Amino acid sequence: RLFFPLILSATLLPISFNCCTEVSHHVPRRLLRKVLKFEIQKDDGVCNIPAVILHVKHKKLCVSSHNKTIKQWMKRNTIKNHGRNGNLHSGKKRNTKRKNQIVVKQ
């Protein structure tokens, strides 16, 4: 009797999770320059391996969270460049100095 309601609830409420099943242990530095956003996948919940998910344009790349380069990159980008919505600031740095700027004192 109890078995039937469990099957019915599983068919009515499908649950899908996006977990990394494999991770890369090497990441080119030029790829890190193109990352728009990153997420940390922990192995304590639904997903069974720790990983860092890098969002690059229309792709998600899974990288080992134990990689030294990734750890340093995440530390720099979390402190300096994290926006309010979790996205990294992308694009070139702006040149804030203007050439031939005239300052008038009064």
Domain ranges of the chain: 17-57
* pLDDT confidence tier of residue 95, bands split at 50, 70 and 90: low
Secondary structure E strands in 1-106 = 37-41, 51-56, 59-63
Count CA within 13 A, CB hemisphere, residue 47: 17
45-76 pLDDT, tens digit each: 788 899 999 999 999 999 999 999 999 999 98
Q: In what order do the strands lie in the sheet with 51-56?
A: 37-41, 51-56, 59-63
CA 37, 41, 42, 46 dihedral sign is positive
Report pTM.
0.61
Asked if 50 and 41 touch (Cβ cutoff 8 Å), the reply is yes
